[in-house]
């Protein structure tokens, strides 16, 4: 049993050490270089994702930048991200909320890859930035498209009909 635990730890550590794709690494390094911040190491993230991976999600990678000061013009970060992505990535969602102290920018790019969909999500807040990469299986995509509300909150949106007298 002890050797199994060691094997799982080595496997999860090597997966995250060697498994980062060039686009994810490129975005993380570009943000670090352009904005003078470093992403925070999250201990045991690989191990946690081994046990808590959502169904249909693969290749999960996460970088968190604490103390990030977002640019005043969101097109700056958009250029940094798009220059780091390879060909075949498409803008899916671009959202920016206005506010000097509480504005937020979210950029989502997709890359169709056979029966999977790769997603790169970049979220900027006044003091933090997050880069998330994941792959969704065809089944997970179909399930999400069929009932997006259920997938978002984990609850059914169908309620029993109440008859009035």
Predicted pLDDT at 109: 96
Residue 8 has pLDDT above 80, yes or no: no
The answer to whether 84 and 133 are in contact (CB under 8 A) is: no
Bigger pLDDT: 160 vs 8:
160
Rounded to whole angstroms, the Cα distance separating 129 from 35 reads 11
Residue 142 has pLDDT above 70, yes or no: yes
21 phi/psi in degrees, rounded to 5: -80, 160
What mean pLDDT is reported for the chain? 76
Query: 120-125: which pairs have CB atoms within 8 A and are 24 or more residues apart?
Result: 120/23, 120/24, 120/27, 120/81, 120/85, 120/89, 122/27, 122/77, 122/81, 124/68, 124/70, 124/74, 124/77, 125/68, 125/70
Predicted pLDDT at 50: 65
Kindly report, residue by residue over 117-129, the tens digit of the pLDDT.
999 999 999 889 9
Predicted pLDDT at 114: 87
Rounded to whole angstroms, the Cα distance separating 52 from 36 reads 32
User: What residue segments make up the domains of the chain, in order of their start?
Assistant: 7-153
Kindly report, residue by residue over 84-97, the tens digit of the pLDDT.
998 899 999 999 88
The answer to whether 129 and 107 are in contact (CB under 8 A) is: no
Kindly report, residue by residue over 12-69, the tens digit of the pLDDT.
443 444 455 889 999 999 999 998 999 987 776 666 666 666 778 888 889 999 988 8
Q: Could you tell me the pLDDT band of residue 153, with boundaries at 50, 70 and 90?
A: low
Rounded to whole angstroms, the Cα distance separating 2 from 8 reads 10
The proportion of the chain whose per-residue pLDDT surpasses 70, expressed as a percent, equals 68
């Amino acid at each position: 049993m002890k050797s199994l635990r060691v094997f799982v730890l080595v496997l999860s550590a090597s997966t995250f050490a060697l498994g980062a794709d060039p686009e994810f690494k490129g975005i993380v390094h570009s943000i670090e270089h352009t904005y003078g911040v470093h992403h925070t190491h999250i201990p045991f993230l690989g191990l946690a994702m081994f046990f808590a991976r959502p169904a249909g999600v693969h290749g999960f990678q996460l970088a968190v930048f604490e103390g990030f000061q977002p640019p005043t013009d969101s097109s700056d970060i958009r250029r940094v991200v798009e220059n780091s992505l390879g060909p075949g990535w498409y803008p899916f969602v671009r959202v920016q909320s206005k506010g000097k102290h509480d504005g937020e920018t979210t950029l989502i790019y997709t890359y169709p890859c056979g029966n999977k969909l790769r997603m790169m999500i970049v979220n900027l807040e006044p003091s933090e930035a997050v880069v998330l990469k994941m792959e969704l299986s065809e089944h997970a995509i179909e399930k999400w498209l069929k009932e997006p509300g259920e997938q978002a909150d984990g609850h059914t949106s169908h309620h029993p009909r109440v008859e009035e007298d």
